Structure 1
Amino acid sequence: MKDQRWRSSLPRLSWFAVEHLLLLPLGALIALVWVNTVPESYYRFTYAVSFTVNDVGMVFFFALITKEVVEATVPGGVLHPWRRALLPVIASIGATALPALIHTWIVGAFDEPMLAVGWPVSLATDLAMSYFVARIIFRKHPVIPFVLLLGIACDALGFLAIALFNPERDLHLASGALILTVAIGVAGGLRRLRVKSFWPYLIGAGGASWCAFFWSGLHPALALVPIMPFLPHAARDPGLFVDALPDARDTLSQFEIWWKYPAQVALFFFGLVNAGVPIGALEQGTLGLPIAVLAGRPLGVLLGAGMAVVGGLHFPRQVGWREVLVGGFTAAMGFSVGLFFCAALLPPGQLRSEMSMGVLLSLAGAPLALLSAKVLHVGRYSEQ
């Protein structure tokens, strides 16, 4: 079996790192040391491989993230029925609005118009880092699909904000939307024809979707997100983060079996390519962003979720206010998507460097999530 071949080909230490999602922070740590010791060689390296890693390799990680959300929305899943699936989407409104308001208020005191332009950076959520920290805290808890869907919605709102409020950026949303419609139509046609192999979905529909995102000026790593729901899958959720069995016949499970470990390798290079931010002095443009997201994201999630509950939506099973608050801290980390937004909104120079350092400081959401989980006795700390 492919899974067994992967297992037998990896040394024991490497296998431990893969299974415990340690490749991402390992790559990030190497990047931080590298860029602050030999920056010239680091920048040459990232220039050569960043497109392959960020725009191609990470396609498969985000596809697997979407796979978990898709399975969580089928009968028996924690986000089924629609009243549960819609709640994190509505919660994302508060999760993005409050950090943006706090950031705008903070930079207003600095009297720096260019910093105010960067408010959409506060909307960014790095799904890879959020998933990594959430898995550490919650293991296989139902709040994880909630956090993932919340992060997808936050990033979608961020991309929309850039398109609407940054007209200088070269975006082609109309033509991109047309190509994406064709891609979704291809995926739907393959589903109706009962095509069982994932390759036509990946190459045909996925390739067209990738072109749509790329041409639109959006992040093409998200190309398979609208395609994955069309892959034939089990009628009922097999369970949260249950590895697909080697003999599983549904298309979604076969996709996971094939791409699970290559996606982990992509995560290592993702951290290596994106975490290389020079560590400098804390300037006024640096501190506003982490304060906005670390305070605004968890509180905004609670506010948005509260409005959704009042409107008749429901939390996933086994998910309460404490889990949502901790999940808000995990979703506060911007990292790669935040750096992408910085590049889209700010010209190269001091202000972009300050804002990028602020994005890096938003990774403080990880220890804050761990601390809040321990204080609130949720996740791995629920029995303590």
Structure 2
Amino acid sequence: MRFVAFIREYSLLLLGGALIGLIWANLSPLNYHHFIESVLADDSIVGQLHEGRRTLTLHYLINDVLMALFFAMAGKEVWEAVALKGGSLRGRKALTPLIATAGGVIGPICVYLLGAMLIGQMTELGRGWAIPTATDIAFSYLVGRLVFGARHPAVAFLLLLAIADDAVGLIILAIFYPTGELQPLWLIFSFAMAGAAWFLFNRLPRLLDGADPAKPRATWARDRLSFWPYVVFGALCWWGFQQAGIHPALGLLPMIPAIPHADTEFGRVKGGQDLLNRMEHALKPFVDVILFFFGLANAGVQLSAMGAATWLVLAGLLIGKPLGIALMGWIAARPLGLGLPEGMRLSDLVVLGCVAAVGFTVALFVAGVAFPSGHEHQDSAKMGALLSFAAALLALAAGRIFKVRKRV
């Protein structure tokens, strides 16, 4: 158990998968890509859309389906921080990470475009300006826990920033890199499914119980139905995100507020946990394994691809993002008077900016859109996204320099 705890604490499965993917792609690139892009089902309802048909590949299964469980767990942390009693990001303080997000987008864009202009390759590389705006929720969250500790308010701050950052990234993709039309009715469908789950299996039983202190219907829904209604409606919610043209890995996020939590709904079971925390605890072992395959499927980039785009993306992430987040976070906390979560210092913003500089998955995705397949700069830009792992070392060093008070 100590060995398993050590592996989970330091995300060794995730890092191991990434290392295997990197080595495999450089030793046998054709074999690697054949495996990762292997077709599991053709003309299915789940998968990547191409010419009116959906194809489910191993890569899609990992990145778009299974990783939704990780993002749901991350979203649960944000939900508790923002909406529940005693949350570190309640009220006006939630505005600070959102304003810091603006800095985490504008800073990398400025650094990238300035660099492209200085080297005289604005025409060739200018389209990649959005690549370093990304923050990888999975890796930045894990690095954040490593630097700050699981209970530090900066972790919830980081999660809200990272999710908002990805939301901005999706808007950027839709406006500046259109690949298809957004389907708003399907997005409404997803939120409607989350709302239906909340009302039918959460709110309605309590309304039917009225003033009855025994709460028989709410207790029956909690104990007999358990998590199954939320699994079914969560799948529909995810499917709606896929159909809407929004990254389906975020498709379970609307379901988080619908699941009973101790602070808002049925209350804790005697001697046990509320449903939301029970579900999180049950998912953790599976998510650890998913993260291994996530690293394996996304880190397969050839080292020979390094070039000008690599350094521009890396500079945008490692320089532009920390500076942007620290500056805009300071403006929000001090001149605007919005403050920071209790227990978080201004110097923590600098460290947090370094943590958020891990672009990886979303940056790889944007690179593939900005520079189409076969473009001479695509692999070079992807290498910059991959090398943003260096932000983890930068964050650890910054944590020591600014004497972060780790909270385990």
TM-score (norm 2): 0.83
Match of 2:259 in 1: 231
User: What are the Cα deviations for residues 12-62 of structure 1, in whole angstroms up to 9, with x where unaligned?
Assistant: 644531343221111111111111112122112211321111111111111
Q: Distance in 1 between matches of 2:353 and 2:180?
A: 32
Kept in 1, the 8 Å contact 2:113–2:122? The answer is no
Q: Distance in 2 between matches of 1:311 and 1:56?
A: 40
Question: Aligned ranges for residues 189-338 of structure 1 at < 5 Å?
Answer: 189-190=199-200, 191-194=202-205, 195-196=221-222, 197-204=226-233, 206-235=234-263, 248-280=272-304, 282-309=306-333, 310-338=335-363
User: What are the Cα deviations for residues 48-96 of structure 1, in whole angstroms up to 9, with x where unaligned?
Assistant: 32111111111111111111111223212222x2112222112101111
Change (3 A) 1:347 1:245: farther
User: What are the Cα deviations for residues 88-116 of structure 1, in whole angstroms up to 9, with x where unaligned?
Assistant: 11210111111112212222343343521
Change (3 A) 1:145 1:378: same
Kept in 1, the 8 Å contact 2:195–2:258? The answer is no
Unaligned runs of 5+ in 2: 39-57, 206-220
Question: Aligned ranges for residues 15-26 of structure 1 at < 5 Å?
Answer: 15-26=5-16
Which shifted more, 208-217 or 56-65?
208-217
User: What are the Cα deviations for residues 219-267 of structure 1, in whole angstroms up to 9, with x where unaligned?
Assistant: 211111122122111218xxxxxxx999534221121122111011101
Q: Distance in 2 between matches of 1:332 and 1:245?
A: 40
Kept in 2, the 8 Å contact 1:246–1:257? The answer is no
Which amino acid in structure 2 is aligned with residue 229 of structure 1? P
Q: Distance in 1 between matches of 2:270 and 2:286?
A: 16
Report the CA distance between 1:286 and its aligned residue. 1.2
Unaligned runs of 5+ in 1: 1-6, 237-243
One of 372, 388, 392 as aligned partner of 1:362: 388
User: What are the Cα deviations for residues 261-314 of structure 1, in whole angstroms up to 9, with x where unaligned?
Assistant: 101110111001101111115311111011011111111112221232233322
One of 85, 90, 104 as aligned partner of 1:95: 104
Root-mean-square deviation over aligned CA pairs = 2.2
Which amino acid in structure 2 is aligned with residue 280 of structure 1? S
Larger Rg, first or second structure (1 or 2) = 2
Match of 2:93 in 1: 84
Report the CA distance between 1:361 and its aligned residue. 1.6
Q: Distance in 1 between matches of 2:390 and 2:284?
A: 28
Q: Distance in 1 between matches of 2:336 and 2:28?
A: 54
Instruction: Tell me, yes or no, if structure 1 residue 72 matches structure 2 residue 81.
Output: yes
Quote the sequence identity (%). Answer: 38
Change (3 A) 1:137 1:15: closer
Match of 1:240 in 2: none
Q: Distance in 1 between matches of 2:140 and 2:236?
A: 28
Question: Aligned ranges for residues 46-65 of structure 1 at < 5 Å?
Answer: 46-48=36-38, 49-65=58-74
Question: Aligned ranges for residues 373-384 of structure 1 at < 5 Å?
Answer: 373-380=399-406
TM-score (norm 1): 0.88
Kept in 1, the 8 Å contact 2:190–2:237? The answer is yes
Question: Aligned ranges for residues 44-193 of structure 1 at < 5 Å?
Answer: 44-48=34-38, 49-73=58-82, 74-79=84-89, 81-109=90-118, 110-140=120-150, 141-167=152-178, 169-190=179-200, 191-193=202-204
Kept in 2, the 8 Å contact 1:143–1:323? The answer is yes
SS at match of 1:91: helix
SS at match of 1:227: helix
Q: Distance in 2 between matches of 1:154 and 1:178?
A: 21
Q: Distance in 2 between matches of 1:199 and 1:261?
A: 19
Kept in 1, the 8 Å contact 2:305–2:383? The answer is no
Matched positions, count:
361
